[in-house]
Structure 1
């Protein structure tokens, strides 16, 4: 009773992997639980994990529903469900048959079948070539802090390379030697931020709060357990996007402070806005529907 969307986006190949981060673990989703008479004990810290087994994927039946940590499941995002890996955490999933790898953010529990080890989002399964078969053998490796730091450093270096031609052009009158340029680096949906400014330093206009949450299609740029980081991100966005016409706000729901832009009239218009944001800020927003 699950399956692919009726009209999937045409640019799923361009959906980037999330930029991994060491995030605070959620409390509820990491407690022991029982499903179908079987008890599961999730890990409560980042420990080595590398397991080979069968991956499946989940799609439209759960699209728009809440994941185990209260986020909205978006089958077009690079996420996955696992029975015991910490929530949230990041894992590299490699298809054994092809060697193709993707990085996913673990934000849900499942699959609750003895012969499967991970449930991928629709887009993650698409990028690994698993949609048609429905499942396939993969290797799942949890990303530990050292590996996360290495990936973040590589992406940061790629961003600096992307900016280098413009700098060279301005200093040499436009004569620039051809060189490989890396694509802008995306950031994770829960971004690591410097300490927020003191409340008195924040412009009250930047702290637009909508609670309870408004219905519609939104871009989510961050979800935080405390208000200060959400306010800091919102202030940064308003400073960097002075000409952005859609409302920016903090939505307080489910014990999280979410930074939203929108609403948009459709998923297609939200996807177009997400691409414009990524081009300007190297941010990969999450499309959420309430």
Structure 2
């Protein structure tokens, strides 16, 4: 793999490792060996545009449309499966913030996560939360099967020269797009009224898939791979 492709993948991986190990925020961090042991039932609230662009406990900029959540004790950067008791839908969220502030709630979802569960029209919803062990091959997607994470292996498009880009997300606000691009060494490209954040070019389908999975783990489940040319 050319040095640029390796550097991009290593930058993403290093950023994820720092987030997962930072331990910032309130509440005692759970040991790595206990990731898969945590389960709880209770109320989930959600937050949206009022916090857009603010720093989370992990250091990320909060994206209301991302699939993320705030939890009091699960390690920052870890994944958790949240299931709505009422709709039966499940979503895998990345823990990137600390909360909720109210003690009668067990998790605070991003608006995007609440929308995926079908609970974004309610101020609170009954949920079950289960931590996922490191290395779980799950996608940041909603499913109607409670406690059954859905494996995601997006097809990599064919490229004549085997060079790819990962389109991470699109924003209507350029500053937010640039903040994400700076955090993961990506580029911002205008597309009409939107700003697209793209990573690459990356040499090789395997490296592109690794970068895409890393972005999904950060909460950008819509990240997808495109041919570079």
Taking structure 2 as the reference length, the TM-score comes to: 0.60
SS at match of 1:26: helix
Residues 154 and 132 of structure 1, relative CA distance in 2, 3 Å threshold: closer
Alignment partner, residue 261 of structure 1: 187
The correspondence for 1:159, drawn from 155, 160, 163, is 155
1:58 corresponds to which residue? 47
How far apart in 2 are the matches of 1:82 and 1:118?
5
Go from structure 1 to structure 2 and tell me whether the alpha carbon gap of 1:264 and 1:70 turns closer, same or farther (over 3 Å shift).
Answer: farther
Aligned residue for 1:29? 24
> Could you give the per-residue CA deviations for residues 230-257 of structure 1, whole angstroms, max 9, x where no partner exists?
xxxxxxxxxxxxxxxxxxx7x4xxxxx6
Separation in 1, partners of 2:187, 2:97: 24
Instruction: Render the CA deviation track for 1:180-202: whole Å, top value 9, x for unaligned.
Output: xxxxxx9999xxxxxxxxxxxxx
Match of 2:119 among 107, 114, 130: 130
1:163-211 Cα deviation digits (max 9, x unpaired): 7xxxxxxxxxxxxxxxxxxxxxx9999xxxxxxxxxxxxxxxxxxxxxx
Aligned residues: 170
Q: Larger radius of gyration, structure 1 or 2? A: 1
User: What is the Cα-based RMSD across aligned positions, in Å?
Assistant: 3.9
Quick check: 2:187–2:197 contact (8 Å CA) kept in 1?
no
Q: Cα offset for 1:216? A: 2.3
Q: Secondary structure at the match of 2:114?
A: helix
Q: Gaps spanning 5+ residues in structure 1: where?
A: 1-21, 34-39, 164-185, 190-214, 222-248, 252-256
String of CA shifts for 1:42-77, please: whole Å, max 9, x gaps.
224251111011000011111110000111000011
- Tell me if the contact between 2:81 and 2:129 (Cα under 8 Å) persists in the aligned partners: yes
Q: Indicate if the aligned counterparts of 1:218 and 1:260 stay in contact, CA closer than 8 A.
A: no
Structure 1 outlier segments of 4+, above 6 Å: 150-153, 186-189
Contact 1:57 1:125 (8 Å CA) reproduced: yes
* 1:216 aligned to which of 153, 163, 175: 175
TM-aligned CA distance change 1:187 to 1:83, over 3 Å: farther
Look up the SS of the partner of 2:44 in the other structure.
Answer: strand
CA apart distance, 1:131: 1.6
> What is residue 211 of structure 1 aligned with on the other side?
none
Q: Which has the higher contact order (CA 8 A, sep 6+)?
A: 2
Q: Distance in 2 between matches of 1:89 and 1:104?
A: 8
Q: Does structure 1 conserve the Cα–Cα contact (< 8 Å) formed by 2:53 and 2:176?
A: no
Matched, 1:45 2:32: yes
Asked if 2 retains the 8 angstrom alpha-carbon contact of 1:42 and 1:85, the reply is yes
Per the alignment, residue 146 of structure 2 pairs with none
In the alignment, which residue of structure 1 is the partner of 2:103? 114
